[in-house]
Copies of this chain bind each other. A is one copy, B any other.
Amino acid sequence: MAISKEIKGVDEACKDVKDGMTFMLGGFGLCGIPENCIEELVRLGVKDVTCISNNAGVDNFGLGKLLKKSQIRKMISSYVGENEEFERQMLSGELEVDLIPQGSLAERCRAGGAGIPAFYTPAGYGTEVAAGKEVREFNGKPHILESALTADFAFVKAWKGDTSGNLIYKATSRNFNPMMAMAGKITVAEVEELVPLGSLDPNEIHTPGIFVQRIFQGRSYEKRIEQRTVSQNK
């Protein structure tokens, strides 16, 4: 029989989170973020956490909610515009921030999940990002050594999932979720639709269930749009 990862709900999903832990949170902007888990982390009031997430939400949604309650000690991100409270906390020194190139962030999460402790990339050579990092030339081009990232918990959001933790994402909400799912010591997946074992085509799964420890069907997804841009009907 397949190994079941199904849990009852978000409270069980966030069981054992502790102050000072490192979390990964999937999503790009507000697209594909684990809304239910973020709400629960706010409710639990867990503090001094390090959050690895490409963005930091907006002032009143997504990770912005954790920021507002000063639950985050350190952010590891690539882009943190669109959030005034974030900028205030960072410039005042309340919040420690590690900004890293988006591709390096994605690859470092994948490496963490894949047992690759470090790799070389050209991104960031000659910039602040390279400070303190080994530089080595390959094919005449300088590269810097980047290390793997892992987390105590990875919170990811998928479109569909089955009870053994297999996940399918929709459109561009996939983004960082698959790599972060790989890199969590405990990976929690919240899905819009939890389906029975055997309902997903094994050929179409984006995240194999082996990477997921807990899965539940989330509720009341708001799926807020950051920049609603439209074309005129011709």
Tell me the A residues contacting B by CB distance below 8 Å. Answer: 107, 111, 114-122, 136, 138-139, 143, 147, 168-171, 202-204
Partner of A118, one of B119, B147, B168: B119
26 of the cross-chain contacts (CB-CB < 8 Å) are: A107-B114, A107-B116, A111-B119, A115-B121, A115-B122, A116-B119, A116-B120, A116-B121, A117-B120, A117-B138, A117-B139, A117-B143, A118-B119, A118-B120, A118-B136, A118-B138, A119-B119, A119-B120, A138-B147, A168-B203, A169-B203, A170-B203, A171-B202, A171-B203, A203-B204, A204-B204
Q: Does more than half of chain A's interface fall in helix, strand or loop, or is it mixed? A: mixed
The residue in A122, A138, A168, A203 that gathers the most chain B C-beta atoms within 10 A of its C-beta is A203
The 10 closest A-B pairs by CB, nearest first: A117-B138, A119-B119, A204-B204, A118-B120, A116-B119, A117-B120, A117-B143, A116-B121, A118-B138, A116-B120
Contacts of A168 in B (CB 8 A): 203
A174 closest partner in B (C-beta): B203
Contacts of A119 in B (CB 8 A): 111, 116, 118-120
A23 to B138, CA, bound (A): 22
A139 to B118, CA, bound (A): 11
A170 to B168, CA, bound (A): 17
A168 closest partner in B (C-beta): B203
Contacts of A120 in B (CB 8 A): 116-119
A204 to B204, CA, bound (A): 6
A120 to B203, CA, bound (A): 30
CB distance from A84 to the nearest CB of B (A): 35
CB distance from A152 to the nearest CB of B (A): 16
Contacts of A147 in B (CB 8 A): 138
CB distance from A109 to the nearest CB of B (A): 14
CB distance from A102 to the nearest CB of B (A): 14
Contacts of A117 in B (CB 8 A): 120, 138-139, 143
Inter-chain pairs besides A117-B139, A204-B204, 16 sampled, C-beta below 8 Å: A107-B114, A107-B116, A115-B121, A115-B122, A116-B120, A116-B121, A117-B120, A118-B119, A118-B120, A118-B136, A119-B119, A138-B147, A169-B203, A170-B203, A171-B202, A171-B203
